[in-house]
Structure 1
Amino acid sequence: MATGVPEVPLGGGPERANAAAQRNWRSAARLSSAADRIETFLAEAGFDRGPWLAVAFAAGIGAWFRLSMPWQWLAVIALAILAAVAAQALWRDRDDRANLRLAVISLAIVVAAGVAIVWLRSAAAGAEPLPSPRVERIEARVLERIDQPAEDRLRLVLAYRDAEAGLARKVRVNVPLAADREGLAEGAIVRLRTRLMPPSPPMLPGGYDFARTAWFQGLSATGSLIGEVEVVQSGRDASSLAGVQRALAAHVRERLSGSPGTIAAAFASGDRGAITRADEEAMRDSGLTHLLSISGLHVSAVIAAAYLLSIKLLALWPWLALRVRLPVLAAAIAAGAGVGYTLLTGAEVPTVRSCIGAVLVLIALALGREPLSMRMVAVAAIAVLLLWPESLVGPSFQMSFAAVLAIVALHGSEPMQAFLAPREESWVVRFARRAVMLLMMGVVIEIALTPIVLFHFHRAGLYGAAANVIAIPLVTFISMPLIALALLFDLVGMGAPLWWLAGKSLELLLAIAHFTATQPGAVKLAPQMDLATIALFVIGGLWLALWRGRTRLLGLAPAALGTILLIGTPAPDMLISGDGRHVGIAGEGARLLMLRDTRSEFARDNLLELAGLEGEPVPLGRWNGARCSRDFCTLAIDRGERRWTLLMARSRDMVEERALAAACDRADIVVADRFLPRSCRPRWLKADRRLLSRTGGLALYLDEPRMQTVAEGQGEHGWWRGAGR
């Protein structure tokens, strides 16, 4: 039946259907073309899945730490598995997409595995912290004893039964050396009265997160001794590995006194507890602090010495040399020496990583393969992350692997291989070539480590490359061999001359450290860089290290952008600790203003480092621009185009509410370590205990203005105990 309305086919007619089909075809063509380009790039750039699998595994672990909620962790795992399934379904029969298919499948699965591994590790190792501070008398078993004579104390890691909560708890207690008792060692049962505190979160945004470290160590609390320690049952001091380590450190310090003895004890046993603060700071600011941490340099020296000595001595036995492959046997002996040294020095993450890497090098040498390769580094990284996935976010793991990646990438580059190629030349020229190589290696390592050091410690030694040119050969070829020989000759009572020589070499090392650290411009201070900036440095560094040929130069782009962002990183105008007691104000001259003249070096150092300042802070009560009473301080500062009025509480005494409300009305920012009444209404921010219990410490940037909190990024991780948890 005809009507006056023309008929229109559903969907807009054939023309619209054809147009839609054409758009879909073009989209598919673009995706196919992009996949072809990626496939070509992977083939031409020499894509090696081994190292990138380690990167993907680390990326999964990092995603778990960065994301806040369990549903987000599950989403990452689900998306990674979906990507692997999609790659297999789309390119299963496409031989021209083999590299792309394998890359997507393998990397996606490993990312999911990284998230799952660290999640499981957190669930298994995490310990519920104490809900609040307490003082109690406990009977506990000593799990670990840590001597710290430089701090005039020792630390005991204890396990006891919390009857009130019905839980077994692991705590760490500081004990003065004067309270030490015979038999106070691993395995002992002790009674003591102690003041216990829940593990502390970062004092300020970007500060050290001890609560996270304690969570993965299984610590429920830390505290200090009240009174005396009663040893109910003595421990196994001399028979345990820790007892041997302490005895060795004590023997070294007995044979070599002063600062050289403390450094020698660190090299021999990994015990750094006796090194003075001044020496620690000098080694840090001179870029030599890595020498105090038993890592690649020390393990490599021990293994190399064991390998060379064993292969030379075994070659003197003709019967054995004719029947056994000496390189294989020497490699096995050297590996045993490396494992023993690793266990003796505490088996820290850098030491374990170095030991794994060195053993892989020995295996490669025994098999006639290339010993220094990115795959070797990748295997070591994955092994460490499987055992301790939480180490990824710590400076030790990051600095250790950044240095090794830099060394391997430098040695594997074509210009460096050409520079080091054998040729006819005098020993003087050969020595000079090796010296130049060592200097270049030091420069490259410093460049690789500087962003990491600034991110974690907010200060870096700029002359470390020059200092390491002398210090590394000094430690590797003089100090450590002399210490080893002195210990050997002590067995027959003839080690004294060797100890004297070792002491002189270590005095030279300390002189280099103190001289370098005191030079003008030796230390670069920086405020806390954000995650985007450090991520650019990591991406650029990995790209430079893991690709080959000119492709690797593309990594300079993110590194350059990260440098620009680092230079432009603003310092916070105001820092407020999580308890509200400590406030730092920057920008009023070259020194930091502090609300309180505190005796806490921890609080002072945190405020200085995160403000990017040095020098002794100025208490606000002595600052001419501030007005302070017994209860409050007020200060006006100019930032940008605005004057900010600050009101900060100094005591917890009661104040007349109407007067306080009037003072708050005149202030832009009010800070207090107690609850303030609702009538206190400043113009921008009231940082009292009610707010700080939710946010943790604060960093305020008043030019914008904006506020950064400790709580950002903590989410529902077990170690964060913000409000509502």
Structure 2
Amino acid sequence: MQPAATVGAPAEAGFGARIALACQDLRGHRLPWLATVFACGIGAYFALPAEPGGAARLAVVLAAAALLTLAWRGRAGAGFLPLCCAVFLLGGLAAQTRTQLVAGPVLDFRYYGAVEGRVRAIDRSASGAVRLTLDRVRLDRVSQAETPRRVRISLHGGAEVPPMPGQRIMTTAHLSPPAGPTEPGGFDFQRHAWFLKLGALGYSRVPLLQAAEAETGWATRVASIRQAIGDGLRARLPGQPGAVAAAITTGDRSALSEAVVADLRASNLAHLLAISGLHMGLLVGFVFWTVRGGLALIPPLALRYPTRQWAAGVALPFALAYLFLSGGGIATQRAFVMAAVMLGAVLLGQRALSLRSVAIAALIVLAWRPEALTGPGFQMSFAATGALVLAFRRISALDLGGWTRGWRGAVLALLVSSIVAGAATAPFAAAHFNRLGQFGVLANLLAVPMMGTVVMPLLLVAMLLWPLGLEGWALALAGLGIEWILGVAAWVAALPEAVRPVVAPGAAVLPLIGLGMAIVGCARGRGRALGVAVFACGLAGWAVTVRPAVLIAEDARLVGLAGAEGRWLSRESGAGFTAEAWLENDGDAAAQPLAAARARPGDPDLPRLHVARGKRDLPDRAADCATLGGWLITPNPPEAPVAGCRVLDAEALRATGTIALYPGKDGWWEISARDRQGARPWVPR
């Protein structure tokens, strides 16, 4: 019998007792919270303005150890709180450890000369050129200690047939350091390249030379098999169906046309090309239910043995084989981890689709690659998976009668999956890609069932029948399914206002949206209101986002001024990547020539800028600036100092990166890309 002094708790108990009771109530629901705080620790590390030193790292290690000790001693009470604090610190430590493990030399000058290296990966650039990632690199007149561990080279006018992975090649190439953000707070390609171990990027216009025979290891053999399968699919399915089949089977998108890719993006079906959670889930699900259904037809086995676990055991090797066949990209690795966790839960007799399984997969992925947290793939995958788990848990708790069984249950599941997954991923897709497909749910309703019930199963059957020469019928039917998907994409993309441009959010918006969604998933009852409030704060911050009035590119060759018609650009061609990024972040669908043809905003509304396009007009712009004052923007430094004028040339901007100007009470507020990046290992000094 309980003592009288404790009767009425938690209402009459002290604050500490109520905390202990709340922690005890979380038993069985703690893993999602631990995954959330671990992710918050990683996010806090990437948000730091400077890299923590050795003393700070030691202090964090000691603090985490002390908190873990407190958590163990208080495990029967409020020990979950210090455990969460320790996991938060461990998230930051994991991210910093990963940063140090991938550290390597980064080229700090423009290089032109001989490049030799081993082909590690082959893909295609945005322009369609073959692109090689090389490791074991040698550069002429560069010491090995200063040579990047990996470089990436686009082949313009090089070999028509790309080399095989593992082959050592030589060429003459132009190399440059990874470029900084196109604007302060924009996508940080330098950080992205750092975690890919890329220390230089460039291009070559001369043919490749073979420096050594290709290595004969397992990686080379797998690459040869992938190339043979991709070539075979394109030969047996001519045109774009074969290109799509190769893309979703081996990850080779080289034969996809720009029109098809544009249609898939406009219709929100581009995710069908990326081998990620959807493809891995469809493959694993098809194998699992085929094996389990086949065993169910044998009553002596179905009644006596755990056929569910047997089916999971058969599906797991298929998931591993798909990981290697597809090239093992980061998205595919993440999808394999999620599939392995789900199948592992089935093997252990647990429920496969649960928040616990999602949390375990997230912890594994983040501990292995903490930088994945900042990318759209991780955010969208786990947002969709978590939302689907919550939605179907809610549906299973409702009394819907026959609506959850038979063909009606399948239709309901399809409808709910498309709506829930689309809604959960929409904020992240809009924030990262500055576009929102107005009819994405419709396109997915029409295309995803075809991918899951026809294309993926038949491609798997074709792979199994290929050694016997019996794959033709399966590939033909799969090709019809792919044609349906491409037809849906083209139809939806052609609808009026199919794509809506979206303004890029501020730095705090996505973290708030993600944290709010995580709290909604982790909390129970009224606690979810906190998650809704955090999510709403993120959306409110997005709604009041203020774009820079002035943007000055890192090389001083492009200037953008915000005006009533949209952003005016100082050049109608050249610096196309930067111009496109600025306009997309503004939520402006105009092309660069149209933006340059707009009326330039008047000086009373903006700082007095004197933009020199080259050496010819530099003297005139310098004279104007000396007379009227203001800012002189020029790629080339002036021959003499310009009195009363602030000069921003390429040399000065190299130290700051792109500059943005915002109106303030006491003049113009200036912020540079380097200011926003902070003093981090991937930022040039």
Q: CA deviation at 1:363?
A: 2.7
Instruction: Report the secondary structure of 1:137's partner residue.
Output: strand
Selected match of 2:602 from 636, 646, 650 = 636
**Residue 601 (structure 1) shift:** 4.1
Match of 2:9 in 1: none
**Residue 576 (structure 2) pairs with residue 597 (structure 1):** no
Code of the aligned partner of 1:459:
R
Tell me the CA shift for residue 198 of structure 1: 1.0
Counting only pairs closer than 5 Å after superposition, residues 239-254 of structure 1 correspond to structure 2 as: 240-254=221-235
Which of 359, 362, 365 is the aligned partner of 1:378?
Answer: 359
- CA shift, 1:435, in A, is 2.7
In structure 2, the CA distance between the partners of 1:137 and 1:320, relative to structure 1 (3 Å rule), is same
Q: Tell me the distance in 2 between the aligned counterparts of 1:119 and 1:468.
A: 39
Residue aligning to 1:715: 678
2-side partners of 1:43 and 1:109: how far apart? 18
The answer as to whether partners of 2:580 and 2:591 remain within 8 angstroms in 1 is no
> Within 2, Cα distance between the matches of 1:253 and 1:148?
20
Who is 2:166 aligned against? 187
Measured in 2, the distance between the counterparts of 1:371 and 1:157 equals 40
* Secondary structure at 2:563 match in 1: coil
CA distance in 2, matches of 1:86, 1:247: 54
RMSD of aligned C-alpha atoms? 3.2
Q: Residue in 1 aligned with 2:653?
A: 692
- The structure with the larger Rg is 1
Match of 2:142 in 1: 164
From the superposition, tell whether residues 75 and 164 of structure 1 become closer, same or farther in structure 2 (CA, over 3 Å): closer
**Pairwise mapping of residues 42-57 of structure 1 onto structure 2 (< 5 A)?**
42-43=23-24, 48-57=29-38
2:64–2:90 contact (8 Å) kept in structure 1: no
- Matched to 2:500, the amino acid is K
Distance 1:278 1:117 in 2: 42
Give the alignment partner of residue 40 of structure 2, picking from 59, 80, 88. Answer: 59
- Post-superposition Cα deviations, 1:374-418, rounded to whole Å, max 9, x if no partner, equal 1111111111122211111111111111111111122233xx223
From the superposition, tell whether residues 92 and 389 of structure 1 become closer, same or farther in structure 2 (CA, over 3 Å).
closer
What are the Cα deviations for residues 545-584 of structure 1, in whole angstroms up to 9, with x where unaligned? Answer: 1112232133211222222221221233332221111222
CA offset at residue 105 of structure 1? 2.1
> C-alpha displacement at 1:697, in angstroms?
1.1
Shift of 1:49: 2.1
Question: 2:603 and 2:412 mapped to 1: Cα distance?
Answer: 51
Contact 2:280-2:335 within 8 A present in 1 as well: yes
Instruction: State the shift of 1:142 in Å.
Output: 2.3
- Distance in structure 2 (CA, Å) of the matches to 1:149 and 1:517: 20
Shift of 1:367: 3.2
The aligned amino acid for 1:605 is E
2:132 is aligned with 1:151: no
2:453 pairs with one of 452, 474, 477: 477
Match for residue 256 of structure 1 among 189, 212, 237: 237
Q: What are the equivalent positions in structure 2 for 1:617-636 lying under 5 Å apart? A: 617-618=592-593, 622-623=597-598, 625=599, 636=602
Matches of 2:156 and 2:526, distance apart in 1: 58
CA gap of 1:426–1:271, structure 2 versus 1, over 3 A, is closer
What displacement does 1:586 show?
Answer: 3.1
In structure 1, distance between residues paired with 2:596 and 2:82: 63
How far apart are residue 125 of structure 1 and its match? 1.0
Shift in alpha-carbon separation, 1:278–1:42, aligned structure 2, 3 A: farther
Q: Tell me the amino acid that sits aligned with residue 392 of structure 2.
A: H
Matched, 1:523 2:513: no
CA distance in 2: counterparts of 1:149 and 1:59, whole angstroms: 33
Q: What's the counterpart of residue 392 of structure 1?
A: 373
Structure 2: segments with no counterpart, 5+ residues = 1-12
Residue 379 to residue 665, structure 1, CA distance change in 2 (3 Å): farther
- Equivalent residue letter for 1:209: D
Q: Secondary structure at the match of 1:140?
A: strand
Deviates more, 1:361-370 or 1:124-133: 361-370
Matched-pair contact (CA < 8 Å) for 1:527–1:572: no
Aligned-residue offset at 1:129:
0.8
After TM superposition, give the deviation of residue 541 of structure 1 in Å. Answer: 0.7
1:634-659 Cα deviation digits (max 9, x unpaired): x62554xxx543321100348448x7
Change (3 A) 1:306 1:221: same
Q: Residue 650 of structure 1: which of 606, 613, 634 is its match?
A: 613
- Give 1:206-221 correspondences, 5 Å limit: 206-221=185-200
Aligned pair in 2 of structure 1 residues 94, 106: CA closer, same or farther (>3 Å)?
closer
Deviation, structure 1 residue 279: 2.3
Select the residue among 250, 254, 269 that pairs with 1:273: 254
One of 116, 119, 143 as aligned partner of 1:139: 116
Distance change (3 Å), C-alpha of 1:661 and 1:477: same
Q: 2:590 aligns with which of 611, 615, 618?
A: 615
CA contact (8 A) 1:126 1:217 kept: no
Rounded to whole Å, the distance in 2 between the matches of 1:360 and 1:87 is 26
1:107 is the counterpart of 2:84: yes
Deviations 1:296-353 (A, max 9, x none): 2211221122223334556778998899644333322210111111121122333223
Distance 1:446 1:315 in 2: 34
Count of paired positions:
665
Which segment is superposed worse, 558-567 or 487-496?
487-496
CA distance in 1, matches of 2:536, 2:461: 47
Contact 1:80/1:109 (CA < 8 Å) preserved in 2?
no
Q: Which moved more, 1:62-71 or 1:398-407?
A: 62-71
For residues 220 and 559 of structure 1, what CA distance do their matches in structure 2 show? 37
**Partners in 2 of 1:371 and 1:665 — Cα distance?**
73
Aligned residue in 2 for 1:127 = 104
Q: Which amino acid aligns with 2:174?
A: R
1:498 is aligned, of 467, 474, 498, to: 474
CA contact 2:177–2:200 (8 Å) conserved in 1: yes
Question: Counterpart of 1:527 in 2: which secondary structure?
Answer: coil
Write the distance in 2 (CA, Å) between the matches of 1:501 and 1:94: 61
Amino acid at match of 1:581: R
Deviations 1:421-460 (A, max 9, x none): 5735697xx5345434433332332332222223322222
Is contact 2:157–2:207 with CA below 8 Å preserved after alignment?
Answer: no
In structure 1, runs of 5+ residues without a counterpart are: 1-31, 627-634
Q: Which residue of 2 aligns with 1:629?
A: none
Written as runs of structure 1 = structure 2, the 5 A alignment for 1:664-679 is 664-666=626-628, 668-676=630-638, 678-679=641-642
Aligned equivalents of 1:55 and 1:77: distance in 2? 24
Provide the C-alpha distance between the structure 2 equivalents of 1:135 and 1:87, rounded to a whole number of angstroms. 53
